[in-house]
Structure 1
């Protein structure tokens, strides 16, 4: 049995970016003191979720990688001796930006990065205005705690992304996230959406025989344009085991700083019971690369 202590932070962000980063720093240090070996942060954790509006001034929030944030979080990972999964607004060059997850090794070096591939464009989630789809593919990142299949938010609805990570030896699937309720939806519809979000990722765990970590924001963030009532991020961050079992699920009405222990070796046993990879009919899957089959 190989236990891994996973820490995650489900936090409410404000417009004060400096204070957001200070809080993250404090909480990461606290999780490390409590025994976390791998710490996962929520999507775009340095700032408010700025994609509620299309505003060119928001590009000023972006920064290069390496850059100030990677220097800060790398030093923090080294200080705390943890593997750290962050989510940053990357400025690649003027006019070219990505939503990028950066993973730091325990020595503070960048173990790897993943640029978000699936980019949504919905009311209050105008991400196509800001982010170019990733061009690094779906490849796990090697770290001292295992091969991390890091994906980001909207990627979580796509079984293809999870499968490609699994086929390349990912030990864990990880999803930094920013998703919440639309105020005009009924409470019943809001709950259906939250449960669908949880269910689809638990399905990725089952289909691939891998643990899944999803870390979501919490709290209400105003729409600067006033066109909507803003987003109430629903929290509910969770860790699921390789059979989809919920090992922990955070609340939907508060912040949380939590450590969950998982048995990394259990995935191999589950795959022996349920050999889904063995029984795949890969010779018949060619049409999966088509947009639609007439």
Structure 2
């Protein structure tokens, strides 16, 4: 099968609180209106809000609710992410649930939005998963996409669609839209960047094709975005090039350059070490002017 329908859900929800019932209702409505949908993706931290104080061990009651919902509608479900409490700390974790209601993978955000996302640990493992007879998907979360190595690694692992829940309520959303298009183009993949609305995001979710083309960009309110993706398009463009031109994945494979930065023991350089600590900007005192 070459075609597969994915619905991104841009939902208005509480910043702090339980949004699971609203999500359940939205999936019920979505599947009634668009029964062709095979996968549903929500935004980052949608189920239980953006406070790490709501962190829970996984599996949890909320995750089980989503497993039941996926099995009820026979869909793949990515219910955004939730703060996960573990013995080693709190992680921002995304669950991938199959149409039988099974959690087939969990992904921990590798780049918490520090210094603002304080107290959240970094994940260290990349996650891809296969939909049988369809194709391979990769997952990342919000700030991860600002680091091109994350999406490039998923593409090198064979991901043809990147599912990217985000929670952006700040003035840099326009930059993220450009990054989403760039990630799709340089990795020749579909990129689903799904944001929240209202208190949990300023919307403008974007779905990008493997040539960096905008398939759909949402407004700032609630929106359901059922998009049919064509895996044969990804495979053809990776074979013949973006618009019949650049073949960045093949060129990266055949590179002669060795990126010594990534071999450095502390992943730093003398210049990077001059940039100072990773902390919030502070207001200057009057005597400093």
TM-score (norm 1): 0.82
Q: Which runs of 5+ in 2 are unaligned?
A: 242-246, 272-289
Q: What displacement does 1:119 show?
A: 1.3
Question: 2:156 is matched with which residue: 167, 171, 186?
Answer: 167
Partner of 2:13: 13
Q: Which has the higher strand share?
A: 1
Q: Distance in 2 between matches of 1:147 and 1:251?
A: 29
Partner of 2:227: 260
Q: Distance in 2 between matches of 1:67 and 1:271?
A: 39
Decide whether the 8 Å contact of 1:157 with 1:201 is kept in 2: no
Partner of 2:122: 133
Query: Residues 15 and 156 from structure 1, CA distance in 2 versus in 1: closer, same or farther, beyond 3 angstroms?
Result: closer
Q: Distance in 2 between matches of 1:82 and 1:96?
A: 31
Decide whether the 8 Å contact of 1:174 with 1:214 is kept in 2: yes
Decide whether the 8 Å contact of 2:67 with 2:103 is kept in 1: yes
Q: Distance in 2 between matches of 1:163 and 1:293?
A: 25
Partner of 2:50: 49
Partner of 1:270: 237
Decide whether the 8 Å contact of 1:113 with 1:141 is kept in 2: no
Question: 1:108 is matched with which residue: 88, 96, 101?
Answer: 101
Partner of 2:142: 153
Partner of 1:90: 84
- Name the larger-Rg structure: 2
Per-residue displacement from partner, 1:235-291 (whole Å, max 9, x unpaired)? Answer: 001111000111111102x11122111112100111123221222254423324142
Question: 1:285 is matched with which residue: 233, 253, 258?
Answer: 258
Q: Distance in 2 between matches of 1:164 and 1:293?
A: 26
Q: Distance in 2 between matches of 1:15 and 1:279?
A: 43
SS in 2 for 1:277: helix
Q: What displacement does 1:16 show?
A: 7.2
Decide whether the 8 Å contact of 2:14 with 2:199 is kept in 1: no
Moved over 6 A (4+): none
Q: Distance in 1 between matches of 2:150 and 2:105?
A: 17
1:197 aligns with 2:164: no
TM-score (norm 2): 0.83
Q: Distance in 2 between matches of 1:13 and 1:119?
A: 21
Q: Which runs of 5+ in 1 are unaligned?
A: 51-57, 182-189, 222-232
Decide whether the 8 Å contact of 1:32 with 1:82 is kept in 2: no
Query: Residues 48 and 66 from structure 1, CA distance in 2 versus in 1: closer, same or farther, beyond 3 angstroms?
Result: closer
Query: Residues 29 and 153 from structure 1, CA distance in 2 versus in 1: closer, same or farther, beyond 3 angstroms?
Result: same
SS in 1 for 2:23: helix
Name the Cα RMSD after superposition: 1.9
Partner of 1:25: 24
Q: Distance in 2 between matches of 1:103 and 1:81?
A: 14
Q: Distance in 2 between matches of 1:293 and 1:6?
A: 45
